[in-house]
Chain A
Amino acid sequence: DVVMTQTPLSLSVTPGQPASISCKSGQSLLHSDGKTYLYWYLQKPGQSPQVLIYEVSSRFSGVPDRFSGSGSGTDFTLKISRVEAEDVGVYYCMQGIHLPWTFGQGTKVEI
């Protein structure tokens, strides 16, 4: 299985300040079709996960533009430009190219 390693595992942030989460995969997530199947999901407290970012850097419909994703190959980053109170929860990266698909351990973001 492809191991997805997130750092840090927890993050305490001040509203209005930036935040960044790293995700490293054990194998390249670049597909022969040219796409990189790396996703970011957010699970807010008591809720189901929701997709934030797909294919490294594309924001899902309705996701605020303070969220951005970047990276390539095996190294990826999720950035929040200015954290808001509603951004608390656990952030997971996930790879969708190598079966079985695997998630990172999760990064808990607290205010």
Chain B
Amino acid sequence: EVHLVQSGAEVKLPGESLKISCKGSGYSFTSYWIGWVRQMPGKGLEWMGIIYPVDSDTKYSPSFQGQVTISADKSITTAYLQWNTLEASDTAIYYCACGYLSGRFDYWGQGTLVTVSS
């Protein structure tokens, strides 16, 4: 059974850095792309970017390019989403999902709530 387990909720101050994780199990980690989706409080879904763990080929939404870094370590079947400088507007639930380079996300993590507040 495919599982994507995300790291726990975070509370950070503006200006701090953060790296959240998404660990895949129950499938061949290198068979799927891993994407990240943002959901701001009470809002809809926004696609942020996607990475292919085999070679770390990464594609970003222009809205998030330069704002976050997506990476993956296939040796430990884990993908990451990283911020160097958090802002209050980064407060959201972040979901990872595995799927294809076509928008199809078959399996989703449970979400990581990131709260940025002074």
Contact = CB atoms under 8 A, between A and B. Distances in A.
A101 B95 contact: no
Contacts of A92: 44-45
Contacts of B63: 100
B62 A100 contact: yes
Nearest to B4: A48
B24 interface: no
B32 interface: no
A105 B42 CA distance: 12
Contacts of A102: 47
B8 interface: no
Given A48-B110, A100-B61, A54 B104 contact: yes
Given A94-B103, A96-B103, A106 B109 contact: no
B37 to A, nearest CB: 8
B53 interface: no
A103 B104 contact: no
Contacts, number: 60
A11 interface: no
Contacts of B109: 48
Interface residues of A, number: 27
A39 B62 contact: no
B102 to A, nearest CB: 5
B103 A97 contact: yes
B106 interface: yes
Given A48-B111, A49-B108, A96-B102, A41 B61 contact: no
A100 B97 CA distance: 16
B50 to A, nearest CB: 8
Interface string A9-52: 00000000000000000000000000101010101000011110
Interface of B: 37, 44-47, 59-63, 95, 97, 102-106, 108-111
Interface of A: 1, 35, 37, 39, 41, 43, 48-51, 54-55, 60, 90, 92, 94-97, 99-106
